[in-house]
Structure 1
């Protein structure tokens, strides 16, 4: 009898299950952080909440957006809970968008909130919203089958695969923010009616944004830095246009030592001619390969000097330098001083495999 009374007393002390049912949760699918312009509450936090529905077809996704200005991201998220009737769940939030103006004013220290939250996946996608993150969140693509699906397919390469799209994960964003000799790169999302345009990248140093590449420059960057296949090489030859579809690309970087280091980039490209004048290959196959290689090398060199003059290093040339010569903090400081004078040399080897299914 005594044992039974003790057992009953222990049962009274036990609390109920803390797990909330799915119908009592709001799943956040996209989060946007903007610059509010108010120094007291500089962060405008917006979350796109999925409204569950049994209907799954194109254009059937339903969402709700709530926004708040706050002194920090953590405080804003806590306060947002009072705006809704369900618990906010970030476990399914795979897209985080930072406003363009936020990065121009410098990323705050509380941005580490993303990496500290245990319910935020390190493989989440990070991007920049132009003109702001809230504008991107408000877009409702007609092709979206369920909330957030459009951006998931864009960056996850489960849907479209484009050489103009750069994918940045949370773990890589954090790594580039703290790693010496390697700077962050973020894709730029621009809303356009009921869809998105993702064909540019924003380059930043450890503090703020420095440069936005054009679509053509973005493709060159993805080819040389991310081995982006399904890309293209374009060149005018007289009145004609030559287009090479790239199905293989590899690049190798060598950083020389000296007062003015020489960075050599060797690129190997293979592909087939998707568009060209008739009988072009029969006239001078190898000459065309050399022309394409020389043209591509000139474009990449021009891009590298533009990036160097902006004071950013998305390729990680500084990291290559430190790894090649076992450098420490003093060597890195020497590299930073020399980076503005670095010279580049790009050598491209192009191999044309054919002219497609016709000749």
Structure 2
């Protein structure tokens, strides 16, 4: 009896396997990157795909077409390719700046419904157009495949804590959260290479502004704990002048000194004591190692080290106050203060419309405590 059951299962497996659509790798174009741009009233779609060929190590190609919808774009892309294009190896989706300003949720929603695409695909915004970014990259001798190159570029910066992870899953999570807005990396092609230029700030699914990489550090400092961050901080000499040793041969006429910090660990605590006042108290604790300082500073004096720690905390506090003010002026909330407000008042008394009305009037008190565990090499 058991033998009969086993044979029935085996026969069924063979028959069902024969019904599956076979896709020989040699006949497929494995899409690694796709980009979309607004072009007049139409949609320009661009894909970079890899053709498997044992005789050629670099066999990536690019196709760009224009249609009314994503599905129309994909149909025309297949008509322009000798291989059937499949999305199972997609690494990144890139949206042109003009398209991002108009709204990208319909394109992202289509992407999320594709059963071949995983939720860990990266999303990004191209300064100017996705087509130009991808086309210039494909012509570069340094970049063999824009999809894998950008995936590695973003991955290593996420791992190094220089960038907030921009996966499809995380974008959708922020988009459907009424108390926090999404952010995506802003990409550019310059000096024959691809680079992350900053972050694109979104209100719902529309891009409202851009911040550079320095401000991105302070955004992440407010958003997530650091475990091994790095930053260079500019400090005014007036706050610590008496602890700077005078050097006869080297004279630095700059009004600031510069401190390079690494192995930076942080924690952030955001509290809303009273929903009526809409006042937030933010406490940030930073523990770090000083790798380099641009002046001959008296690091052997404990009092001088305390002065340095307070100066770093003061500068960080000022940077965070400015970036929050910038977010308020743009009407974006990438830190998620709305979620803190919602947890205080409850779901019944919270809506996106209510939060949009009271967010501009929110006030903040920031306290930063910095501790330098070790000092490193002086310039």
One fold, TM greater than 0.5?
yes
Determine the C-alpha separation between the residues in 2 that align with 1:88 and 1:95.
15
Counterpart-to-counterpart distance in 1, 2:30 and 2:101: 30
1:299 aligns with: 319
Structure 2 alignment gaps of length 5 or more = 1-13, 238-254
Residue pair 2:292, 2:377 contacting (<8 A) in 1 also: no
| Structure-1 residue corresponding to 2:229 | 230
CA 1:145–1:69 in structure 2 vs 1: closer, same or farther (change >3 Å)?
closer
More divergent stretch after superposition (25-34 vs 172-181) = 172-181
1:153 to 1:272, Cα distance in 2 relative to 1, 3 A: same
1:22 and 2:30 equivalent?
A: no
Question: Quick check: 309-318 or 138-147, which moved more?
Answer: 138-147
Mapped contact 1:29–1:148 kept (Cα < 8 A): yes
Contact 2:235-2:312 at 8 Å conserved across structures: no
Q: Which TM-score applies when normalising by structure 2?
A: 0.82
How has the CA–CA distance of structure 1 residues 145 and 34 changed in structure 2, closer, same or farther, with 3 Å as cutoff? Answer: closer
Q: Does residue 289 of the first structure (1) align with residue 309 of the second (2)?
A: yes
Q: Does 1:263 align with 2:280?
A: yes
Out of 208, 211, 215, the residue aligned to residue 209 of structure 2 is 211
> TM-score normalized by structure 1?
0.86
Structure 1 equivalent of residue 367 of structure 2: 347
Is 1:280 aligned to residue 273 of structure 2?
A: no
- Gapped regions of structure 1 (runs ≥ 5): 1-10
After TM superposition, give the deviation of residue 331 of structure 1 in Å.
Answer: 5.5
On the 8 A contact 2:296/2:378 being kept in 1, the answer is no
Distance 1:173 1:298 in 2: 29
CA distance in 2, matches of 1:220, 1:159: 15
Matched, 1:37 2:57: no
Structure with bigger helix share is: 2
Q: Distance in 2 between matches of 1:358 and 1:216?
A: 23
Instruction: State the 1:177 CA deviation.
Output: 1.5
Aligned to 1:316: 336
Q: CA deviation at 1:186?
A: 0.7
Aligned 8 A contact 1:318 1:335 in 2:
yes
Query: Cα deviations across residues 304-335 of structure 1 (Å, max 9, x unaligned)?
Result: 01101100111111012112332335455433
How far residue 261 of structure 1 moved from its aligned partner, in angstroms, is 0.8
Q: Corresponding residue for 1:183? A: 181
**Which residue of the partner structure matches residue 148 of structure 1?**
147
